Amino acid sequence: LRTTLLFLSPKDLYTAPDSCEGRCREPYSPEDECHCNPECERHRNCCEDYYRHCRDGEHPRCRGAREGCSPPELSGGWGAQRGWLQARVDVRALLSLPTLWFYNSPRLYKYVNEELFSKPTYASFIKLLDNYQRATGREEDVTAEELREQDNFLREVMKTELMKKLFAFLHKKNRYGSEQEFVADLKEMWFGLYSRGDGEQDSSGFEHVFSGEVKKGKVSGFHNWIRFYLLEKQGAVNYFSHNFEGPWDTYPDVLGLQFSWDGFYKEVGSAFIGSSPEFEFGLYTLCFIARPGRACHLSLGGYSLSIQTYTWTKSTYGDGKKYIATAYVISS
């Protein structure tokens, strides 16, 4: 039995538009996350790029933005990061991107050169993936060895140019005073435990996004290509379909897909294909800090890209800081 699978648009799946690109002077709609008609200035509910798209770049002073800068300034900060966001590990020299057959292939990946996985950030990332009980509602038992693996992964990613430049950018914005403070916060926001069940410390941002969970009989999170590849190799993942036929000639490649994991179904998922752990970890971190709970629109190498993040609202750490609930690339 073969079921035809329908992929909805990112707007239908995830969020109302939060950019004014192509929306200037459109009628007000309460469904929109932000607005682009002239009245938005009076009501102070304009999208952050309203002045860039609808007022020829004219903008007022920052109005209490969390990052301490005007929206155009922050957008410019992201623009300046395009170079480092592309300064990734040379994946394509080592990775043969998948040949994808729609519906009639038992596997997503035809071939991956696993020499890639010996690189320090990959090796330390992969060691983290088996540290979790995937079922929500079951308390995580974090061992001393697993804590060391978390520290080792953070140590390795912070050696990369990408993460060093991310820290420099956030330090310039007065978000962190030192690299030590930044790393300590990364450990809390990504690896700090909270409860998705009935009080058990059963989940974390890292587990949800990169390793994947099962909640109420369905796959939740699971947005990483390396995790998918390793489980598919073991026969634990059954790939159903994807929403992109190529050509695979640009970066980043983004795939929307449907699959099952030991019989648990993922109806709509998304993942980068072929990116390094530090690329995804850094990009999700940037968007979570700068645009928590909203779509984060970026341009990488001239290609538009959107990341959605959500904060965990039921518990906090430190002085009211929020954990990562999820982060994923929006696929179209």
Domains of the chain by range and CATH?
1-55 (4.10.410.20), 87-330 (no CATH)
Contact 283, 166 (CB under 8 A): no
**Average pLDDT of span 194-206:** 90
Predicted local confidence at residue 322, as pLDDT:
94
pLDDT of residue 111: 81
215 vs 225: CA distance, rounded Å: 20
Q: Which position among 242, 266, 297, 322 bears the catalytic label?
A: 266
Rounded to an integer, the average pLDDT of 60-75 is: 33
| 208 classed as catalytic | yes
The tens digit of pLDDT for each residue in 312-328 reads 999 999 999 999 999 99
Q: What is the pLDDT, as a whole number, of residue 226?
A: 95
Residue 239: phi, psi to the nearest 5? -80, 135
The confidence score (pLDDT) of residue 31 equals: 61
Q: At residue 85, does pLDDT exceed 50?
A: no
pTM, rounded to two decimals: 0.71
CA 274 vs CA 60, 112, 140, 252: distances in Å: 41, 9, 29, 8
Query: Residue 197: which pLDDT band, with cuts at 50, 70 and 90?
Result: confident
Q: Compute the average pLDDT of residues 206-217.
A: 95
The CA distance from 246 to 235, in Å, is 25
Give me the pLDDT at residue 246, please.
52
218-236 confidence digits (pLDDT tens): 999 999 999 999 999 999 9
pLDDT winner (highest mean) among 33-42, 67-76, 104-113, 118-127? 118-127
Q: What is the pLDDT of residue 26?
A: 78
Q: Which of 208, 215, 242, 297 is the catalytic position?
A: 208
Give residue-wise pLDDT tens across range 232-246.
999 999 988 876 555
Q: Which residue has the higher pLDDT, 20 or 301?
A: 20
**Mean local confidence (pLDDT), 165-191:** 96
Please determine, for residue 45, whether its predicted confidence score (pLDDT) is greater than 90.
no
- String of b and e for 86-100 (b: at least 16 CB within 10 Å)? eebbebeebbebbeb
The catalytic position among 223, 242, 297, 322 is: 223
State the pLDDT at residue 53.
Answer: 79
Percent with pLDDT over 90 in the chain: 49
Q: Residue 194 is which amino acid?
A: Y
List CB contacts of 53: < 8 A, sequence separation 6 or more: 19, 20, 21, 22, 23, 24, 36
| pLDDT confidence tier of residue 110, bands split at 50, 70 and 90 | confident
pLDDT at 16: 42
Backbone angles phi, psi at 190, to 5 degrees: -95, -40
Instruction: Give the residues across from 327 on adjacent strands.
Output: 309
Q: Is residue 19 within 8 Å of residue 46, measured between CB atoms?
A: no
pLDDT confidence bin for 303, thresholds 50/70/90: confident
Please give the average per-residue pLDDT across 67-95, as a whole number. Answer: 30
Q: What are the distances in angstroms from CA 19 to CA 99, 198, 234, 303?
A: 34, 37, 42, 16
Closest CA to 312 of 288, 290, 280: 288
SS3 state of residue 268: strand
Q: What percent of the chain has pLDDT over 70?
A: 74
Lowest mean pLDDT among 105-109, 155-159, 174-178: 105-109
- Of 96 and 323, more confident: 323
Identify the pLDDT of residue 15.
33
